[in-house]
Structure 1
Amino acid sequence: MPKQRLSKSVVDKLQPLTAELIYWDISFPGFGVRVKLNGTKSYVVQYRTRSTGRSRRKTIGQHGPLMSFAQAKDIATGLLSDVLRGGDPVTEAQMVREAPIMQDLCQQYLDVHAIPKKRPKSVANDRSMLTRLILPRFTSQKIRDVRHKDIQTFHNSLKVTPYQANRALALLSKMFELSIKWGMRSDNPAKGIERFHEEKRHRWLSSDELTRLCVALDNHPNQKAANAIRLQLLTGARIGEVLTSKWENFDLDRGVWIKPSHHTKQKRTEHLPLSKAAAALLSRIKNGAAGSEFVFPGRSKNKPIVDLKKFWRSVLSKAGISDYRIHDNRHTHASQLVSSGMSLAIVGRLLGHTNPMTTQRYAHIAGDPLREAAEVMAEKMSLGTRMRDRST
């Protein structure tokens, strides 16, 4: 390769020959200009890495209006200085180009964490949030380039649906937490973002509504679905636990429902005592069962009922009940237990709550039997006063 003292005027005069050539600057080793057959001139640097001694070449940019000789020389000085400090500009640039993007993180989260470790319904929820909310916003953005401000802006854009916004934020935070463990970045940009306030639902059925619901269930033509709702009301279980339950999970002689860990939200095996009514209901269902391992098989005996949305809308319409979800049957179950004098601790255990605060929503109901108990003493004292008045 030819060598000469390079300058702006020298570079301007260089002309293409019969082959592509690189002219190296004798006054600045490692810096040169490449002249292609079509006349294009590009500045380059060449160096050997300090760690391996491997020769590397990097193109700085094309000579012309956007890059002068002086600018190229300044960039070359910086790059070669990095090499002296042990850097490798070519490898570093390649790492930046090939750095994983958010789509990669989403897929790795599903493959490595969600699918192996979470319940199928939770995986489906995560996949839905990724597809509908997160990927449209972050798909091609490099993981290392996502900033705290980006996550904050994304979260704020969902303020009209605060519950959904908070779930998406929690999912992002979990993914970035894992990305640190996977060596994709060193910090979690979702950390420290304040969640939106969420109004907790406190909806359960009054005695009159519960009566109307039971009548609607009795009169509905789909008694298989009706039985699933009855079992949920009698046990306070989540509807997913009811629909995926198998006969092997029930010990009807002992009156126990053994919920396997992969079906419960808390990922632990639960032993739920069955009431006589629940055990009797299951016995009736079993007597009419068609040989499926599932208590509530779907169209195929090998799979359970998937959901009851259409059935539930029909039942609520016939019962004249509004603003009431299937999940609220758990609240109705709990409210009936608490109002009968059952302690919040016991109710929480029956519902599978690991956090006592979750059961505190029923605290004001628990006050009713306590108030009635308090009135017992007042009544005794009132009786004593009346007897004294009569004696005087």
Structure 2
Amino acid sequence: MPKGKITKRAVEALLSGQSLFDTEVRGFGARRQKEAITYFVKTTVKGQQQWITIGRHGSPFTPDTARAEALKLLGQVVQGADPAQARREERLGSTVSDLCDQYYRDALAGNIVTRSGYAKKQSTVYVDKGRIERHIKPLIGRRKVRDLTRADIQRFMNDIAAGKTQKVEKTKQRGKAVVKGGRGTATRTVGLLGGIFQYAVKHGIRLDNPVHGVERHRDNTRDRRLSPEEYVALGQGLMVAELQGMNPRGLAVIRTLAMTGCRKSEIQTLRWPYLDVNGGSVRFPDTKSGKSIRPIGKAAMEVFAAQPREAENDAVFPGERGRFYDGTPKIMGAVRALAGLTDKDDYGYYNVTLHTLRHSFASLANELGYTEATIASMLGHRLGTITSRYIHHLDAALVAAADRVSAHIAGYFYWGVWLVEDETSSH
């Protein structure tokens, strides 16, 4: 193993898989695994060699603080202690609240990787933090990680579904947050808790994941889609809202969400350089599914083209105070009321949401006969974006598919009719 004084420059120069042992403290070292640099101590405890991890390079561990921790651990070994065993016992005695805090810190640092192999996005981590603070900690935060059983998790999920954690709280961003329960919230929170316990298993805090095997509620709101009549009603609601002087940017965002199947965050943060008008697409450098090239129909492109441009802001929908417009949910609430689409589920949530527009786009595409792969490409799912690393221009058939679906929705919105088409046209 190479040796040298461990300094900030030395450890940051390490390549993936390389280690460096310190020349000042015997057994103290650092190694890089992919992007992360970890400090460790190699020593012998009761005749057996041990590698004790100190922590990752960065706050709170610098070369100096890690070296001091290494001296502390080596001193414990000299006195006959087993630092690794002590740490294991400490972890086993940690609470769910402690575990959540550790998970959140790692997620915030980009160290939590999703199933698709990408670090969790900061927007997702922010949502995770809300579920941790509003549901997990109040119900089971004080419980020991090692003591939780599958029955406890089932009870935890049922309590959220029954509204046990519902409340209204003040927030810095919006003024207040209405925290509700419901089956959808319960299911998504248990999903997060499963990820947190899998993290605990990975780090030796627990041997098993108690969330495995828990039967979750089905999130019925995800099945909601707009019927032809409801598309017409939504279009009329948008027109009335426009006549009433509601924010035109918010109304345009809703229209383009409906006619593209894009996510709210993708449209609200859309920038002019992303648009490829000639290619009939939007090139997102980063989305929930990574880099994505998305086909966009002419009807949606016309909405984009109608937006006024600002000299110092390249956002398609610029905000009044920030770079991007972010008031769409409030506008959607008003439009939903004007359209009469105010039905709710058993827990008080509106069934028709901005995300419903995405589901409706996919359902309409399915009814028009397009394949799962084509629909996935139009929605930007991983199945549809995986080939984007190899191509620079979308297939003409894919652009035509997006154009056809958006034209149908535009027909509902503006004329209240199903566009007449040649049913023998190619899909």
Deviations 1:262-295 (A, max 9, x none): x23xx2222112222222222221x443531322
2:328 counterpart letter in structure 1: L
Cα distance, 1:317 vs structure 2: 1.9
Distance 1:322 1:91 in 2: 58
What is residue 316 of structure 1 aligned with on the other side?
Answer: 336
Counterparts of 1:29-40 in structure 2 under 5 Å?
none
Which residue, 315, 319, 342 being the options, matches 1:294?
A: 315
Distance 1:340 1:130 in 2: 41
The SS at the match of 1:218 is helix
Deviations 1:287-309 (A, max 9, x none): 44353132212222x53223422
1:207 aligns to 2:219 (yes or no) = no
Task: Calculate the aligned-residue CA RMSD, in Å.
Answer: 3.3
Distance 2:209 2:191 in 1: 12
Cα distance, 1:373 vs structure 2: 8.0
What is residue 107 of structure 1 aligned with on the other side?
Answer: 101
1:252 aligns to 2:277 (yes or no) = yes
Counterparts of 1:312-351 in structure 2 under 5 Å?
312-323=332-343, 324-351=352-379
1:223 aligns to 2:248 (yes or no) = yes
What is residue 324 of structure 2 aligned with on the other side?
Answer: 304
1:276 aligns to 2:298 (yes or no) = yes
The 1:91/1:128 distance shift into structure 2, 3 A limit, reads closer
Which residue, 261, 268, 273 being the options, matches 1:243?
A: 268
Deviates more, 1:98-107 or 1:322-331: 98-107
Percentage of pairs with the same residue: 29
The 1:212/1:289 distance shift into structure 2, 3 A limit, reads farther
Distance 1:154 1:354 in 2: 32
Which residue, 213, 226, 232 being the options, matches 1:192?
A: 213
Deviations 1:103-160 (A, max 9, x none): 2211121121256222333222211111111111232333333333432332333343
Task: Tell me: higher relative CO, structure 1 or 2? Use CA pairs within 8 A at least 6 residues apart.
Answer: 2
1:168 aligns to 2:189 (yes or no) = yes
Cα distance, 1:179 vs structure 2: 1.3
Distance 1:339 1:205 in 2: 13
The 1:291/1:95 distance shift into structure 2, 3 A limit, reads closer
Give yes or no for contact 1:217–1:223 (8 Å, CA) kept in 2: no
Distance 1:217 1:91 in 2: 63
The SS at the match of 1:258 is strand
What is residue 51 of structure 1 aligned with on the other side?
Answer: 46
Larger Rg: 1
Distance 1:206 1:191 in 2: 37
The 1:196/1:335 distance shift into structure 2, 3 A limit, reads closer
Give the unaligned 5+ runs of structure 1.
1-49, 53-86, 357-371, 375-392
Cα distance, 1:165 vs structure 2: 2.0
The 1:289/1:227 distance shift into structure 2, 3 A limit, reads farther
Give yes or no for contact 2:253–2:328 (8 Å, CA) kept in 1: no
Distance 1:280 1:197 in 2: 38
Cα distance, 1:178 vs structure 2: 0.9
1:269 counterpart letter in structure 2: K
| TM-score (normalizing by structure 2) | 0.56
Distance 2:210 2:306 in 1: 55
User: What count of residue pairs does the alignment treat as equivalent?
Assistant: 271
